Amino acid sequence: MNPPVAERARWSDLASPALGSRAALILLGVWLNAADALVTATIMPSVARELGGWAWFGWALAGYLLGSIVAGASAGQISARLGLRPAMIAAALAYAAGCGLSAAAPDIALFLAGRLLQGLGGGWINGFCYVAISAVFPERLWPRMFGATAGVWGVATLLGPMVGGLFAGAALWRWAFWVFSAQGLVFTIAALILLRGALAEDAGRRPLAWRTLLILTAAIVAIGAADILTGRLWPATLVFAGVSLLAVAARVNATPGERLLPADAARPGTIAGAGYAMMLSMAAAAAVFGVYGAAILQVVYGLSPLAAGYVIAMEAFGWTAAALIVASQPERRHGGLILGGASAIAVGVAALSLTIGGGGVGPIVVAATVMGAGFGLCWSLATGRILAALPAEDRSIGASAVPTCQLIGGALGAAAAGAIANLIGLTHDFSPANARALAPWLFAAFIPLAALGWLAALRLARPTPPGLAPRGLAP
């Protein structure tokens, strides 16, 4: 009997003369997207001090994620219509231009415009890289390539804070963006040479969900705008308007031709709906640490940008380590691991609210690691349960909706973090004393979101009905 196809694949096949250079190209593209968040989180305090951007802090992440959401939702269709090579080149040029704009920005407005363009370019690159795996590599090597991309994220966890910390510590934060702009240009040239003849798979010409995307964008912008207006009435009004627009987006998503997410995504009583609700709530709850964590660590605890960056990276470290542990667990344990992961995320968010203002760096590291480990425990298993519960015709859109849902949650959480920081007075006075007093309240505001995610996980963790065990995840 011949062994299964996946077992005949070898890691050395990816380094063969025919595929090695293309594999390196894809891994570079994944690196550009993976390292961005950790590098930017580390250098943002330096950016805010130079450009006066404390009041716009959340937008540095929210703008990038907003661009990534639009890019991720359209990557498959664009690559099918333009061709993989032209689409990849255009995406890389957009990313390089966005990095250059942020690097050269004389004020915070142009810096944020650059971040939005980076998000578009980076999101497209990431999406096109996954398209390229299926279009360029034989099917037997897909698991190896997906494993290699996961390894890139692990490397980014180690190197991202170091890169950002070194540039910020030397007061050269702009050069961090110039370096990534140069990498984007290298990627452009490599794609031009290496992707000759590469064709994307047919995306089925599914129409783009532009109305849903526009309403969702308006919701994120409304919530994010609440962090730049003074007083309490207008920020509160904008937050309410943003939440209302989210409800409208959910209704429009159910319209034929506007399916950014599966129909069940707006039905939390279903297995898939509970899964997407958990992902969105948890991603939003954790976003505050990525937005304000490094700044608070530098201002309150006096950490260097490098040290603060590595504390932030402990969340990603915990995620990676826990994900490796659960990768081979049988399906009968998935429900308990999903609920355990959601519990760890909620505990981590609560612990950060208790320690961020003066509990010491050690407890913050522990809380961040626990929160990240919670994501690692439940995320891939939740994805399997979601896809198994969806109708066959929704499996494709359901799979692409998982990272989209995570991005939406992150963007909403980042925008909300800025709005809440404005409401409690943190953005107008980021002095050590004020940050120490108000940071716990900022983080505590996200505990209800983590609690909502836990409730959704409770529904998702119920025993899987017979016949719904995801393929490849059964014991």
Q: What is the pLDDT of residues 155-177, one digit of tens each?
A: 787 788 788 888 888 888 999 99
Examine the domain organization and report whether 182 and 313 are in the same domain.
Answer: no
Residues 6+ apart with CB under 8 A from 460: 271, 274, 275, 278, 335, 338, 382, 385, 386
Residues 116/117/119/122 CA torsion (nearest 10 deg):
-170
Report residue 418 CA to chain centroid gap. 17
Q: Supply the CATH number for residue 35's domain.
A: 1.20.1250.20
Residue 280 domain-assigned?
yes
Per-residue pLDDT of the chain (475 residues; tens, 9 = 90+): 444 444 455 666 677 777 778 888 888 988 888 787 778 878 888 898 888 777 777 778 778 888 888 887 777 667 777 888 888 899 999 999 999 999 999 998 899 999 999 999 998 888 788 777 767 777 777 667 766 776 787 778 778 878 888 888 888 899 999 999 999 999 999 988 887 765 555 544 556 778 888 888 888 788 767 666 666 677 778 878 888 888 888 888 877 777 777 878 778 888 999 999 999 999 999 999 988 998 999 999 999 988 998 898 899 889 888 887 887 788 888 899 999 999 999 999 999 999 999 889 999 999 999 999 999 899 888 888 888 888 877 776 776 677 778 888 888 888 888 888 888 888 878 899 999 999 999 999 999 999 999 999 999 998 755 544 443 333 2
Examine the domain organization and report whether 169 and 256 are in the same domain.
Answer: no
Examine the domain organization and report whether 200 and 259 are in the same domain.
Answer: no
pLDDT at 229: 65
The answer to whether residues 427 and 315 touch, using CB atoms and an 8 Å cutoff, is: no
Q: Is the pTM of this model over 0.75?
A: yes
437-470 CB burial, b ≥16 within 10 A, e <16: bbbbbbbbbbeebbbbbbbbbbbbbeebeeeebb
| Structure-block tokens of residue 66 | 């907003």
Examine the domain organization and report whether 376 and 464 are in the same domain.
Answer: yes
pLDDT at 135: 72
Residue 11 domain-assigned?
no
Residue 9 domain-assigned?
no
Residue 295 domain-assigned?
yes
pLDDT at 470: 44
Examine the domain organization and report whether 201 and 274 are in the same domain.
Answer: no
Residue 232 domain-assigned?
yes
Examine the domain organization and report whether 305 and 420 are in the same domain.
Answer: yes
Domain boundary among 153, 188, 206: 206
The answer to whether residues 123 and 29 touch, using CB atoms and an 8 Å cutoff, is: no
Residue 81 domain-assigned?
yes
Domain boundary among 157, 184, 206: 206
Domain of 321 in residue numbering reads as 209-475
Report the alpha-carbon distance of residue 63 to residue 78 in Å, rounded. Answer: 21
- Report the domain count for the chain: 2
Examine the domain organization and report whether 222 and 198 are in the same domain.
Answer: no
Report the alpha-carbon distance of residue 127 to residue 80 in Å, rounded. Answer: 12
The answer to whether residues 98 and 89 touch, using CB atoms and an 8 Å cutoff, is: no
Residue 6 domain-assigned?
no
Report the alpha-carbon distance of residue 88 to residue 95 in Å, rounded. Answer: 11
CB atoms within 10 A of CB 183: 19
pLDDT at 128: 83
Examine the domain organization and report whether 265 and 151 are in the same domain.
Answer: no
pLDDT at 441: 96
CA angle, residues 41, 47, 53, in degrees to nearest 5? 100
Report residue 222 CA to chain centroid gap. 20
Examine the domain organization and report whether 184 and 216 are in the same domain.
Answer: no
The answer to whether residues 374 and 351 touch, using CB atoms and an 8 Å cutoff, is: no
pLDDT at 214: 86
Examine the domain organization and report whether 449 and 376 are in the same domain.
Answer: yes
Domain boundary among 206, 239, 260: 206
CB atoms within 10 A of CB 429: 12
Report the alpha-carbon distance of residue 434 to residue 413 in Å, rounded. Answer: 22
Residue 4 domain-assigned?
no
Examine the domain organization and report whether 43 and 119 are in the same domain.
Answer: yes
Examine the domain organization and report whether 88 and 118 are in the same domain.
Answer: yes
